[in-house]
Structure formats: C-alpha cells, structure tokens
Amino acid sequence: MSDMISETQHELKMMWTGQVAKTERYFMRINSLTIYGQQKNKYQVKDVRTVSSLKLHEQTLCYQELKIKYPHLSGLPIKDYKRIVPRMLIGLNNLSLIVPLKYDRGLETNQ
C-alpha cells in the first residue's frame, strides 16, 4: 500500500439538505485521484474516501418541467436524466469542483 492510499476502517458522516444525515464506514482513504468530465476535462479530487455502497435514491430531472416552473432557467445547457443513482459525492473539501464558474441570477419572486 503506497503513501497515497491508507486502508483502515473509519466512519464518514454525510449531511445534506433537510437535516438528513447518514454515517457509513469507509475503507480506503486516497490522497488524490483524477476524474474526467463530459468534455474530457481533467480534475484532481483530494482526500477521497471509499464506501462499500452509498445506497442513495434515484434521481430524475426533466428540463422542460424545470423551465416551466422557473422560466429564468430557459436557455441553459441542461440535459434531462432519468432514474440516475449517484455514485460519487463531492464534498466541501473539494469546493472548487462544485461551485459554478459562471451563474445567471433570475428575478426574485415570492414563490
């Protein structure tokens, strides 16, 4: 085992919106790995942990429905997806990978 990977069991606590939290045992901690985006862009992900199974729920996104509910999203390069199960979570320790480089702000409404 190299100094890039350590193999021990620890707990990983994941928290997200709606006060939802989940604790998983993780088995490997990887200092750094490379992932590739849809346009073949290369990204470094640091301090990675592996778990045996995330067991996250399926997700579906229909862009047409989203545009009707939020008209300011019209014209964005968003693709539909159906019954997708996330296989990787990117946490705040890799914030540069999840914060948009550019964003558009719509009108504020009382919806």
Q: Mean pLDDT of successive 10-residue segments in the chain (111 residues)?
A: 61 81 80 86 88 83 94 88 88 87 69 54
Quote the pLDDT of residue 1. Answer: 46
Q: Which pLDDT belongs to residue 107?
A: 65
Can you tell me the distance from the alpha carbon of 91 to that of 1, in angstroms, rounded to the nearest whole number? 25
> Which two three-digit tokens encode residue 65?
């429905």
All residues at 6 or more sequence positions from 77 whose CB lies less than 8 Å from its CB, including other chains? none
pTM for the full model? 0.59
